[in-house]
Amino acid sequence: MSAKQDSGMVWGLGLGPGDPDLVTIKAASILKRAAVIAYPAPEEGDSFARMIAAPHLPGGQKEIAIRMNLGDGAFPKEDVYDRAAAAIMAESAAGHEVAVLCEGDPFFYGSFQYLYGRLAGRCPVRIVPGVSSLMACADAAGMPLTARNDVLSVIPAPLPEAEIARRLEDCEAAAIMKLGRHLGKVRRVLQAAGLIDRTRYVERATLGSEKVMALSEMHGESAPYFSMLLVHKRAEAWSNRSMGGKTSQGGAS
C-alpha cells in the first residue's frame, strides 16, 4: 500500500506475545513510520504493548496512552474507550497514520476490539495480525496443540466451573486462558476430569521471565495474568505416549 493510501490509516497492530523479535516485518515497518502510537496502559506504570514495540520505535512519535484499571475484571471501560476513539479519529482526520499497539493478535481476545467497534466505518482501520500467545505457549511447553482431527477448545478461566467442565468434555485439547485468581477453580475441574497429569502451565511465554511446568508442580490458588494452561487428552498430540515436553524457568531465548 502506498504512503498516500495509508494517510489517516488506523492500524490495530498485533505485536506478538512479548519477545520484540516476534514482531512481524509489517508491524515493524508501520512502527517506524507512524506519526502517532496509542496503547493500553495501567493507571500507573508501563504498558506491556509499548514495551514490546519499544525497540522498533524511531522516537519522536506522538503517544496516546489509554490508561485504565486493568486488574478489576470489569470490561469494556466504555468512557475510556470513547475518549481514546475520539482522540484517534481526530489524528486520522488530520491525515496522520495511527498505530494502536496490541499484545498478541488484536482479534484474538484483544482489547483493541472495543476500539475497532467505535472506529470501523468512521475512519480507515485495518488489522495487522500478530503471533498469538496460544502459539507461543505451545512452543514454550514443547507441546504441539493439536493433530489428526482433534478439536481444540480455547476456554477463558473466568467461566463458571460447570461450564469449563462441559467444554473440556467436548474436545481433545484445550488452552485455558486468563487464569489469574481462577487457577484453583480450574485445577479442581481438571482434577475431576482426570487431566491434571496431562496439563502444562506456561507463564510469560517468550520473555526472559518465562516459566513452564507440569500443572501438578504448580501450587497456589492464583497465577499471573500472563499465563495459560495447555491440556491434551492423549498427553501428546501426535501419539498415545505419556507427557514429555519441556520444563524451564526464566529460560526464554
Ligand X SMILES: C[S@@+](CC[C@H](N)C(=O)[O-])C[C@H]1O[C@@H](n2cnc3c(N)ncnc32)[C@H](O)[C@@H]1O
Cross-strand pairs, 142:
none
- What gap in Å lies between CA 168 and CA 162, rounded to an integer? 10
We find the least distance from the C-beta atom of residue 49 to ligand X, in angstroms, to be 10
Interface pick for ligand X out of 30, 98, 123, 228 (rule CB under 6 A) = 228
Interface pick for ligand X out of 108, 144, 154, 246 (rule CB under 6 A) = 108
We find the least distance from the C-beta atom of residue 252 to ligand X, in angstroms, to be 9
Q: Which residue is nearest to ligand X (CB)?
A: 104
119 binds ligand X (CB under 6 A): no
- What gap in Å lies between CA 49 and CA 67, rounded to an integer? 12
Cell of 184: 484453583
Select from 65-73, 79-87, 97-105, 214-222 the region that touches ligand X (CB under 6 A): 97-105
129 binds ligand X (CB under 6 A): no
- Cβ-proximal residues to 231 (8 Å cutoff; 6+ apart), any chain: 168, 173, 174, 175, 176, 190, 195, 198, 199, 200
Interface pick for ligand X out of 10, 36, 103, 125 (rule CB under 6 A) = 103
C-beta separation of 213 from 253 below 8 A: no
Interacting positions 139-168 with ligand X (CB under 6 A): none
- Cβ-proximal residues to 95 (8 Å cutoff; 6+ apart), any chain: 7, 8
We find the least distance from the C-beta atom of residue 17 to ligand X, in angstroms, to be 4
Neighbours of 238 (CB within 10 A): 11
Select from 24-32, 75-83, 104-112, 193-201 the region that touches ligand X (CB under 6 A): 104-112
Interface pick for ligand X out of 10, 128, 137, 212 (rule CB under 6 A) = 137
Q: Categorise residue 195: left if φ over 0, alpha if ψ from -120 to 50, beta otherwise.
A: alpha
C-beta separation of 85 from 115 below 8 A: yes
Instruction: Spell out, one character per residue from 38 to 77, where the chain touches ligand X: x when CB under 6 A holds, - when not.
Output: ----------------------------------------
Residues that bind ligand X (CB under 6 A): 17-18, 103-105, 108-110, 132-133, 136-137, 177-178, 202, 204-206, 225-228
